[in-house]
Chains A and B, each alone.
Chain A
Amino acid sequence: DSGVTQTPKHLITATGQRVTLRCSPRSGDLSVYWYQQSLDQGLQFLIHYYNGEERAKGNILERFSAQQFPDLHSELNLSSLELGDSALYFCASSARGAQRETQYFGPGTRLLVL
């Protein structure tokens, strides 16, 4: 158990819908990262938040957005869903987001868009 929690574990929805994925980092960690794992793209970095502020963006679609709240939990919002958004979405956390830090991953949320 990494200490990172993600809800829900599974999500099935239809094209055009909007969903919210939630992540709680390990106790004391200020940085939260989101990654997407899909069959065609592999594991890709989406976005990084540190202490409530966006630190970096990766290959994140404009239909996707995220935020980190004062209690440090984070939400990833996916809208206007398409079939190709079906994937496993991971959240990871680390202490501050600096180099020489280990990222600890949650169990993931598996999203299926029908």
Chain B
Amino acid sequence: AQSVTQPDIHITVSEGASLELRCNYSYGATPYLFWYVQSPGQGLQLLLKYFSGDTLVQGIKGFEAEFKRSQSSFNLRKPSVHWSDAAEYFCAVAFGGATNKLIFGTGTLLAVQP
């Protein structure tokens, strides 16, 4: 069955430190992968997506993610975290087929220490 795993429920980093949020997926076909961010009380904003081609994708707000087929991973990275990055981050896979529904991971809550 298709699934998305985000092993880290909660991460705390210091402002200015680097960040990596992990995402692993289980999907039989070519995955279409997304990272969304949800700030407190807000909706979901798309950070970046991978459909094909270059496995390192750039997104908004200085985020990037790397698709590694051999590891079934799509980890999100940022070289220097800002206090405004504190939010919940969701990895998702597009199901495809008759519907393009998204399967989401459980999310990683990021806290940023001054």
Contacts and interface: CB of A to CB of B under 8 A. Distances in A.
B69 interface: no
A48 B101 contact: yes
Contact of B100 (A31, A58, A90, A104): A31
A62 to B, nearest CB: 19
B104 A43 contact: yes
DSSP class of A's interface residues: helix, strand, loop or mixed? strand
Contact of A2 (B45, B99, B100, B104): B45
A25 interface: no
Interface residues of B, number: 23
Given A100-B51, A105-B44, A94 B101 contact: no
A98 B49 CA distance: 15
A97 B45 CA distance: 18
A84 interface: no
A105 B99 contact: no
B21 to A, nearest CB: 16
A100 B49 CA distance: 9
Contacts of A52: none
A44 B105 CA distance: 10
A65 interface: no
B99 A48 contact: yes
Interface of A: 2, 31, 33, 35, 42-45, 48, 55-56, 58, 90, 92, 94, 97-108
Interface of B: 32, 34, 36, 42-46, 49, 51, 90, 94, 96, 98-107
